[in-house]
Amino acid sequence: MKIVKSGGQEIFDIELEKDLLSRNRKLAKENKRLFDESNIMSIDIMGSIGSGKTSMIKAILRKLAMGKKVAVIAGDLTTTIDADRIEEEGPQVIQVNTGKECHLDAHLIRQAVRRMKLDGVKILFIENVGNLICPGEFPLGAHKRLVVVSVTEGPYTIMKHPYIFKEADVIVLNKIDLAKAMKVSPSRLEQDAKKINPHVPFIRANALKGVGIPKIINALGIKS
Ligand code: MG
């Protein structure tokens, strides 16, 4: 089999990308410092469209029942669908629309945080734009990064996205109730995850039913 590998970029593209990534990392550090100074624990939630990020955040909010002590930044290209759903659970919600960008970045988070009422907020969830490629490269300054993957994404999703799963502090396998129907083996997916990121907690969940939610809260180290 003949394989073409990327890496043959023009020097200009490489320099541009390096510059962009290092600028983002610098802003991410500043964000983290602000979160630390404000005593806010921040969590970046990544995963494909339809993996269940919003449903999981809603389930966590219901379990925590902390009202406005929780803030959520919802990233999406153009809609407010997720932000509206999350708002039903009572937290402070800020929508960030990225337009054509496939990920949030540290600068957008800083802008969102400037619009937030920080007073009294203990926990900040950031729902990243739905995909398993771009968000991994752009840390936001969050204390923890969680990746949600659902069994409906098929048997090879984790293997095919090594970079984002390497970035994860917690991995959630969602829609576990559908594994049989999808002919997907949760244990196989867990093995794939362990190969990429051996020590990371791997939690099986059904966010709509609340299954696995206490374990996720525990793995994130959230104390309500
Ligand atoms: Mg969502």
Measured in Å, residue 110 CA sits from the centre of ligand 1 at: 20
CB distance 174 to 149 below 8 Å: yes
What is the Å distance from ligand 1's center to 192 Cα?
24
Compute the distance from residue 74 Cα to the ligand 1 centre, in Å. 8
Q: Could you tell me the distance, in angstroms and rounded to a whole number, from the CA of residue 107 to the centre of ligand 1? A: 21
What's the confidence (pLDDT) of residue 82? 95
| Percent of the chain with pLDDT strictly greater than 90 | 90
Give residue for tokens 């390096």: 18
Contact indicator for 124, 143 with CB cutoff of 8 Å: no
User: How far are the Cα atoms of 17, 41, 66, 135, 205 from residue 208, in angstroms, in the given order?
Assistant: 39, 24, 19, 24, 9
Q: What is the pLDDT of residue 135?
A: 96
Whole-number Å distance, alpha carbon 10 to ligand 1 midpoint, is 35
State the distance from the centre of ligand 1 to the C-alpha of 75, rounded, in angstroms.
8
Across the chain, mean pLDDT equals 94
**Whole-angstrom distance, CA of residue 14 vs CA of residue 22:** 12
CA of 66 to the centre of ligand 1 (A): 21
- Positive or negative, the Cα torsion across 196, 201, 205, 210? negative
223 Cα to the center of ligand 1, angstroms:
24
Coil vs helix vs strand at 7: coil
Give the Cα separation of 31 and 36 in Å (integer): 9
The DSSP code sequence of 142-160 is: -SEEEEEEEGGG-TTHHHH
- Per-residue pLDDT tens over the stretch 17-35: 888 999 999 999 999 999 9
Count the helix, strand and coil residues of the chain and give each as a percent rounded to the nearest 5.
45, 20, 35
- Tens of pLDDT, residue by residue over 181-190, are 999 999 999 9
Q: How far is the CA of 97 from the centre of ligand 1 (A)?
A: 13
Residue that has been written with the tokens 């089999």 in this structure:
1
pLDDT of residue 11: 65
